[in-house]
Amino acid sequence: MSPDDFRQALALPAPADVDRRVPKNAFMEQIKGATDRKQFDQMVERIDWLATLAPGTIGVAAAIVDGQAVEEVQLFSATFRREPTKRLLQVIHQTLPYPLILLCRWADQPHARLSLLPGYRLDDGIAIDLALNERTEAFPASLDLSRLPRTDLAALYDGLVERAQALWASEIAGANFRVPATGSDASARKEALAAYLAAEAEWRKLKAQVRNEKRLAQAVELGDKARRAKLAMNEAGKGLR
């Protein structure tokens, strides 16, 4: 799924279209840290502003979240020289005062990567490759503006987050893509996804420790822990079906 495919799936009305290349300096001026600015300059090839989702362009009301106005949701695409780091995606999200839908591409990436930052919480950032298959072929249709929550812009963005989490869960569990039917369903999936990712992180950490451990007894003990962590990860994955 390319950035153009994603944009077409949203089925935005014409007033939302922007289609403008944004100078890199416009972003770099908003980045505070010298290291982050350098990484942005070295990694980013170009940034394109695709659309603005706002009350006047898509007919969805603004919102107030934790005392902060959500008056727009921006749709951007970014072309990178190589795969972007999690930190770089966070930096790009932080340069804008509005929620951002960021579609990422780089030279050897055959499909787009969707990056979302729900509620401006850096630890909750989502970056998922839009590589679809027969189990996830329903994902594009779920993005249609008419099928997204339209109470306000915050609800709409949360709806996109839920669909991204559902796609992620589908890929992990090898199950068919399914949009949460209720708010409690969405919350349960979010918790199951968090449990799986925590278990996966523990498993990967233990695997690395096994590779680096030179003492046989300790390596065997770590190997046992890694196997138990893998079992826990697989069990957590069952909750994503």
Q: Which pLDDT belongs to residue 209?
A: 94
Q: Which pLDDT belongs to residue 124?
A: 66
Q: Which pLDDT belongs to residue 122?
A: 46
Reported as a single tens digit per residue, the pLDDT across 10-38 is 999 999 999 999 999 999 999 999 999 99
Instruction: Break the chain into its structural domains and give their ranges.
Output: 3-179, 186-238
Reported as a single tens digit per residue, the pLDDT across 184-203 is 888 888 888 888 988 999 99
The model's pTM is 0.90
Q: Is 49 left (phi over 0), alpha (psi -120 to 50) or beta?
A: beta
Q: Are 103 and 114 in contact (CB under 8 A)?
A: yes
Q: Which pLDDT belongs to residue 119?
A: 63
In one-letter notation, the amino acid at residue 204 is R
Q: Are 16 and 56 in contact (CB under 8 A)?
A: no
Low pLDDT (below 70) residues in the chain: 119-124
